[in-house]
Amino acid sequence: MKGGTRPHILELALIRMNLKFQIFIPKKHRPIPITNIVLVSIIGLAVLTYLFDYFSVGFVSTKTIAIVMFVGLFLFFLRAAIVRGKIRPYHGRLEGWIYFNDNGLKINNEEIDLKDLTKLDFEFGSYYSEFIHHNTPIIEPWRENGTNNFLKLNYIDGTTRSIQFQRMYEDQQKYLKPFLEYSFNMNLMSFLRLTDLLGITKYEEIQDYKKKIEN
């Protein structure tokens, strides 16, 4: 299955039986935002050029600054053109799996007893190869790698756990429906949260689903 594309019917049947997400382990240290630093530097040079010209300061040639700005902007736009449409680099590694079935959860080889939990929740971000239209597309020209998704577990003893994972296509989480409904019946999430995760937003649909799930 190619990243960002929906699986075929046979693949969907297998996914429903045992849905899994690959675990993402981020690096401890966030990468230095070189692109942002370059952009700020170019803006700074533009301000300096204006100030030097305004106050007739001859310490640095405005022509020299203008050349540096032009080269910097050219490289900036060139970089954006080259990487546009490519997948955002992984600042970490994909390792291990989260497995779901209708009434169970396993992280790698660790079976999670839902009776030991007080709350279970998901935070869904992007999916693999998703293109998000940013306000600054020159700074963020990448397609997403789908790793900003989280499974959050609260245990009876007060400890919490957050597992980051990769989502491969847009509505992949909808096949968690049996597991989510089971978690709701186990009082691990509210009905409002359940409908939110399933993308049920219209009032009539919420009421119909409430009647269905209570029967």
In a domain, 2, yes or no: no
**Which residues is 50 bridged to in the sheet?**
none
Read off the CATH number of the domain in which 140 is found. Answer: 2.30.29
Give the domain extent around 97: 9-30+91-214
Beta bridge partners of 160: 154
pTM: predicted TM-score of the whole model, two decimal places: 0.72
Confidence of residue 136 (pLDDT cuts 50, 70, 90): low
| Per-residue pLDDT, 15 | 44
Query: Do 161 and 186 belong to one domain?
Result: yes
Choose between 113 and 133: higher pLDDT: 113
Mention every residue, 6+ apart, whose C-beta is less than 8 A from residue 145. Answer: 87, 88, 89, 90, 126, 128, 166
pLDDT at residue 79 in the model = 66
pLDDT computed for residue 17 by the predictor = 45
Nearest to 121 by CA among 24, 175, 196: 196
Q: What does each C-alpha distance from 1 to 45, 114, 141, 197 come to in angstroms?
A: 47, 31, 24, 24
Domain shared by 97 and 62, yes or no: no
In a domain, 103, yes or no: yes
Q: Provide the greatest CA pair distance for the chain.
A: 82
